[in-house]
Amino acid sequence: MEYTDRILEYFKEITGIPRESGNEERMREYLIRFAHTRGLECRTDSVGNVCIVKEAAPGKENVSTLVLQGHQDMVCEKTAGSTHNFLTDPIDYVIEDGWMIARETTLGADDGIGVAAMLMILGSELPTGKIECVFTTSEETGMDGAFGMQKGFFTGKTLINLDSEDEGQLFIGCAGGVDTTATFAFNNEALNDDFKVLKVSITNGLGGHSGDEINKGRMNAVKALSTFLASEDGHGLQLVSIDGGNKPNAIPRECSAVIAVPDADATSSRFAEFSKALANEYADTDPDVEFGILPAYSESPAVCAQVTSAFLKAMAACPHGVIAMSRDIEGLVETSTNLASVKMAGDGKIVVVTSQRSSVTTSREEIAKAVADCFRTGGAVVEHHSEYPGWKPNPDSPILRACVSSYRKLFGREPQVKAIHAGLECGLFEEKFGGLDMISFGPTLRGVHAPGERLDLASLERFTAHLIDVITNCNQTV
């Protein structure tokens, strides 16, 4: 109880420190000051990572070093009407019915609560071996801190990552990923005088995270609209513009296109049929999708016929969704791809962004190549970027055994052992430094990365008890 309260106090303090990804200076200063006022060894590096060391308690000098790790930054999202300024304002929250809830913004419990837990431990007299607390930067925007970290920044070989959001679940693996971008260059073509211009759109899909939610059967608006347009190509369509999706890691919720067609009525009735079939297909998993087709006006010319055909064929052929499930861990998506966005880039270019994930490196490479080939065949220039490695589960991990038996002892039930189909910094640590024994767990958070993000306070108590039990008892036999 007491330790949980201390974590909560630290976390409340942290909610007052602006720390958007890339803007973590004040958080870093806070951490350095924290270490100095307590006489703790503290190091930083050129990318803003901080490591604070708690020396072993008397009698624990022979216990091998344990690394605790979380990220300093937070995702900064707010509601449409909010006047919150993430560069200056503290996060406004309420505590209600056992939850700590941000009012109009993200709460930043991802990963402020992991940071707060480390501060509690660093400031405590808990009887542990030597502990290195590692605070990374810009995890949410590409794991820049973990990417930039040099060998030797921490020395322990057992690492507990505190950046998971389901209490009672222990994570022992994650997916690696890569983004694949295709650029189509085109010439302009005049709109046919006899053609009618239409704006067709698919909107209001649920979307979601392209890792965690790729297996939920949600509609991909970009994929769906492209499929319709590809079929209209056979009826002589001219494509003026297309715009859909946003971030590489989000399933696109909407897509619209301006087209010109020889027979607007025929196109409209084919679209109505297409919409009906699609609404049926997604009646259970994405029920509120809306379809629109309206007369429009365009001053812009069309994309030349040749590129239009090649582009739409490639979009229709490009895979989206789950490619393979894991055979080792039930229910885990092993490999997936997200057809994330399509935009007119100006100067005669259409840019398509896709994102592939897999816990198996060769499978990730295979699906990224398949997507790339699909667009290259259509004449696009393709690039891969933002690659990060996965973390392969080790069911025989000593830290996993310690965490499972501690959980069983404390709560009389089994924790779930899982891997996630999303990225964690653990994958990078393993690739860069090697020979690490790692696990990830945390208290329950809901709605992370969105306004109204909340922290389950009862789960925070269990998390605290579990973490303390593990760090005071693990690594003893080394």
Buried b (16+ CB within 10 A) or exposed e, 448-462: bbebebbbbbebbbb
For the chain, state the CA radius of gyration.
25
Distances (CA, A) of 434 to 40, 68, 145, 431: 27, 16, 17, 6
Q: Which is nearer to Zn ion, 106 or 267 (CB)?
A: 106
Out of 20, 73, 77, 110, the residue judged to bind Zn ion by CB under 5 A: 110
- Interface region with Zn ion, contact rule CB under 5 A, candidates 99-107, 163-171, 254-262, 468-476: 163-171
DSSP 241-304: EEEE---TTB----EEEEEEES-HHHHHHHHHHHHHHHHHHTTTTSTT-EEEEEE----S-EEP
**Nearest distance from residue 450's CB to Zn ion, in Å?**
13
Q: Which is nearer to Zn ion, 113 or 302 (CB)?
A: 113
What residues are annotated to the active site? 73, 139
Q: What angle do CA 176, 177, 182 make, to 5 degrees?
A: 165
Q: Which is nearer to Zn ion, 110 or 232 (CB)?
A: 110
Interaction of residue 144 with Zn ion, rule CB under 5 A: no
The DSSP secondary-structure symbol of 131 reads E
Q: Which is nearer to Zn ion, 400 or 420 (CB)?
A: 420
Short-list 55, 60, 63, CA closest to 38: 55
Cβ proximity of 187 and 364 under 8 Å: no
Interaction of residue 232 with Zn ion, rule CB under 5 A: no
d(Cα 454, Cα 194) in Å, to the nearest integer? 56
Interaction of residue 20 with Zn ion, rule CB under 5 A: no
Q: Restricting to residues 235-294, which ones interact with Zn ion according to CB under 5 A? A: none
**Nearest distance from residue 211's CB to Zn ion, in Å?**
12
**Nearest distance from residue 114's CB to Zn ion, in Å?**
8
Interaction of residue 163 with Zn ion, rule CB under 5 A: yes
Q: Which is nearer to Zn ion, 69 or 464 (CB)?
A: 69
**Nearest distance from residue 442's CB to Zn ion, in Å?**
9
3-state secondary structure (DSSP) of residue 404: helix
Secondary structure element (H or E) that encloses residue 160, with its range: strand 158-161
Contact partners, residue 243, CB within 8 Å, separation at least 6 = 255, 256, 257, 342, 343, 344
**Nearest distance from residue 354's CB to Zn ion, in Å?**
23
Binding mask 56-95 for Zn ion (x = CB under 5 A): ----------------------------------------
Short-list 174, 113, 166, CA closest to 146: 174
**Nearest distance from residue 73's CB to Zn ion, in Å?**
8
d(Cα 310, Cα 75) in Å, to the nearest integer? 38
d(Cα 15, Cα 125) in Å, to the nearest integer? 25
Q: Which is nearer to Zn ion, 111 or 456 (CB)?
A: 111
- Interface region with Zn ion, contact rule CB under 5 A, candidates 130-138, 158-166, 310-318, 424-432: 158-166
Q: Which is nearer to Zn ion, 163 or 233 (CB)?
A: 163
**Nearest distance from residue 111's CB to Zn ion, in Å?**
4
d(Cα 134, Cα 87) in Å, to the nearest integer? 24
Size of the site for Zn ion (CB under 5 A): 3
- Interface region with Zn ion, contact rule CB under 5 A, candidates 107-115, 176-184, 408-416, 437-445: 107-115
Short-list 209, 250, 247, 287, CA closest to 447: 209
- Interface region with Zn ion, contact rule CB under 5 A, candidates 156-164, 190-198, 317-325, 342-350: 156-164
**Nearest distance from residue 139's CB to Zn ion, in Å?**
6
Q: Which is nearer to Zn ion, 129 or 145 (CB)?
A: 145
Interaction of residue 111 with Zn ion, rule CB under 5 A: yes
Short-list 400, 420, 395, 265, CA closest to 334: 420
Three-state SS letters, 174-223: ECEEEEEEEEEECCEECCCCCCEEEEEEEECCCCCECCCCCCCCCCCHHH
Which stretches of the chain bind Zn ion, using CB under 5 A? 110-111, 163
